[in-house]
Amino acid sequence: MDALLGVAAQVAYFGHWSGFARVQAWVFFHLMLPLAVRLLGHASGRLLGPKAQDLPAGAALEWARWGRTPGFLFGDDSLARERAYHRFSGAVHLWSISGDHLFGPASAVDALAQQFSAARVQRHSVAPADLGVQKIEHFGPFRRDLGAQLWPRLLAPIEAASPKLAARL
């Protein structure tokens, strides 16, 4: 693998959030996910949004545990062998979306960037004004109405970093 693209990908430890969003993240990881699993046997996708899928109990509880742990999954010793972020030496392009305070604040994306210690990391940000829209939000890049406008911008740096990829697209 030559390059990696992350769009609103982050270290989802609640401590990377600020203000009221930090309170919301704390409640989500400490109360909502564990309580949903206890009551329903899974975490309803409605916790994430109207079109999100349900999460199996094990995945929801693991995510909740990571969200309460400084370092998120990087603090989980059981994953030590699987975590190779620090060994990846390719180009890493991580995008944050301004206004994505609930799911992917810039500080949480920055925390992910720090995990790629051997890579050539570049941080990018996109704002609604860049696209002439009112909002993008966390899941906006996957909406049809924004995708055609947004993805060329997101892919441009990674295509430049990986000519093989650009030739295939």
Tell me the pLDDT tens digit for each residue of 113-127: 999 999 999 999 999
- Based on C-alpha coordinates, what's the Rg of the chain? 17
Per-residue burial over 132-164, b if 16 or more Cβ lie within 10 Å, else e, is eeeebbbbbbeeeebeeebeeebbebbbebbee
The pLDDT value recorded for residue 55 is 95
Taking only the tens place, the pLDDT of each residue in 145-158 is: 898 899 999 999 98
- What number is the average pLDDT over the span 57-68? 96
Confidence of residue 135 (pLDDT cuts 50, 70, 90): very high
The pLDDT value recorded for residue 167 is 73
The domain spans of the chain are 3-168
Q: Is the pLDDT of residue 99 over 70?
A: yes
Q: Is the pLDDT of residue 20 over 70?
A: yes
Q: Please provide the average confidence, as pLDDT, over all residues in the chain.
A: 91
The pLDDT value recorded for residue 4 is 92
Strand 42-43 and strand 55-56: pairing?
A: antiparallel
Confidence of residue 81 (pLDDT cuts 50, 70, 90): low
Neighbours of 101 (CB within 10 A): 19
Q: Is the pLDDT of residue 169 over 70?
A: no
Number of H helices, E strands in the chain: 7, 5
The pLDDT value recorded for residue 144 is 87
How far apart (Å, rounded) are the C-alpha atoms in residues 87 and 105? 25
Indicate the pTM of the whole model. 0.89
Q: Is the pLDDT of residue 98 over 80?
A: yes
Q: What DSSP state is assigned to residue 77?
A: G
Confidence of residue 57 (pLDDT cuts 50, 70, 90): very high
